[in-house]
Structure 1
Amino acid sequence: MTAPEITIATPADRGAVIGSLVAAFTKDPVLRYLFPDEATYPRYAAAFFGHLFDKRVNKETIWTVGHGASVAIWEPPVTQPESHEDTLAAQFPADVLARVHAYDEAVHAALPESPFWYLGVLGTHPDSAGRRWGRAVMNAGLRRAAVDGLPAVLETSNPGNVELYRRAGWEVVRSVPDPLPTWIMQQSVP
């Protein structure tokens, strides 16, 4: 099998990345907790993923295959948490914003205190699933973390993903029971 071409996302990839992630996460426990209404899911999920894309695209930490068919949005080590308040408050009603903040606060309280690379989003458009592109874009970020000599961290609330990530070398290091069961996983520097 030929290795896929992995590229760093540019602003021109925004629409394709958002479209792929909205399609990939339609049944994801976190996205369904945040945006439970079928009618508003596409719009709110697009705003959410657009926010994450915009925060990271200029950091050059979004790896893609097919300019968005498969996407890994990584956050490099940060010294202080970033606020989502300004951009998200204008896009979501109060109840949705409260769920976003509750989930974000619960997860971030469980993350390590020492520096790490954070895999915030990993998704492949359903039309491109099964090609191992997700693993390819994930590995691009893992290589970058290894260059820095830092561990990589992610969270998942999808029980099926825990075993998938374990097979890729991740291990569960913590769990968060509320607002929904979430596993914090880490892959240490080789």
Structure 2
Amino acid sequence: MTAPEITTATPADRPRVIASLVAAFTKDPVLRYLFPDEVTYPLHAAAFFGHLFDKRVHKGTVWTIEGGASVAIWEPPAADNQSPENDLPAQLPTDALARVHAYDEAVHSALPAAPFWYLGVLGTHPDKAGRRWGHAVMRAGLRRAAADGLPAVLETSNTANVELYRRAGWQVLRVVAAPVPTWIMHQPAR
């Protein structure tokens, strides 16, 4: 089996990235907490993922396979560890924005104070699942963190993912109980 080609995303990849992430996170506990309505989930999740993509694509920290079939959206270290989601898209309804802010505040308060690379989103379209593409795009960001001599951090609310990440070298740093049980995980600086 040949290794997939990993590319740095461009704005042209946006539609495929968003479609893949909306499909990949349909049953994710956090996304369903944020956007619980079945009818509006696709629209609101697309706005949310589009916002995350748009904020990071020009930083060169979004890696994809097949132009977005699998994607890792990384946030480089922030000098002041400010929350990256403080300017969410206006097209989200007020109640969804309140849930996003509550979740972000709870998780942000549990993140390390020292600089780190943050894996904000990792997903593969369900039609392409099982090929280990998520691991491949994740490693692109891990290489950047290692080159900077910094740890990497992520969070997951999917209990099955905790063990997958552990097998990939991540360690549980802490658990946030509410508003959604969430594991903060890290890989030490290398």
Normalising TM by the smaller chain, what interval?
Answer: over 0.9
Residue aligning to 1:117: 117
Residue aligning to 1:21: 21
Cα distance, 1:87 vs structure 2: 4.2
Q: How does 1:31-110 map to 2 (within 5 A)?
A: 31-80=31-80, 81-82=82-83, 84-88=85-89, 90-110=90-110
* Stretch deviating more after TM superposition (135-144 or 91-100): 91-100
Fraction of identical pairs, as percent: 76
Q: RMSD over aligned Cα, in angstroms?
A: 1.0
Q: How does 1:137-148 map to 2 (within 5 A)?
A: 137-148=137-148
Q: Which amino acid aligns with 2:162?
A: V
Aligned residues: 189
Q: Aligned pair 1:135/2:135, yes or no?
A: yes
Cα gap change, 1:38/1:136 in structure 2, threshold over 3 Å: closer, same or farther?
A: same
TM-score (norm 1): 0.97
- Aligned residue for 1:60, secondary structure, equals coil
Q: Which runs of 5+ in 1 are unaligned?
A: none
Q: Which amino acid aligns with 1:166?
A: R
Q: Which runs of 5+ in 2 are unaligned?
A: none
Residue aligning to 2:165: 165
Cα distance, 1:85 vs structure 2: 4.8
1:124-175 deviation per Cα after TM superposition (whole angstroms, max 9, x unaligned): 0001101110000000100010000000000000000000000000000111
More helix per residue: 1 or 2? 1
Q: Which amino acid aligns with 1:95?
A: D
How far apart, in 1, do the equivalents of 2:48 and 2:84 lie? 14
How far apart, in 2, do the equivalents of 1:92 and 1:147 lie? 37
1:12-64 deviation per Cα after TM superposition (whole angstroms, max 9, x unaligned): 00000000000000000000000000000000000000000000000000000
Q: How does 1:145-160 map to 2 (within 5 A)?
A: 145-160=145-160
Q: Aligned pair 1:185/2:185, yes or no?
A: yes
Q: Which amino acid aligns with 2:17?
A: V
Are the equivalent residues in 1 in contact too, given 2:119–2:153 (CA < 8 A)? yes
- Aligned residue for 1:17, secondary structure, equals helix
- Aligned residue for 1:174, secondary structure, equals strand
How far apart, in 2, do the equivalents of 1:2 and 1:83 lie? 35
Cα distance, 1:189 vs structure 2: 2.1
How far apart, in 1, do the equivalents of 2:44 and 2:145 lie? 31
- Aligned residue for 2:33, secondary structure, equals helix
Cα distance, 1:92 vs structure 2: 1.4
Cα distance, 1:79 vs structure 2: 1.8
How far apart, in 1, do the equivalents of 2:84 and 2:11 lie? 21
Q: Which amino acid aligns with 1:127?
A: D
Cα distance, 1:94 vs structure 2: 1.3
Cα distance, 1:96 vs structure 2: 0.7
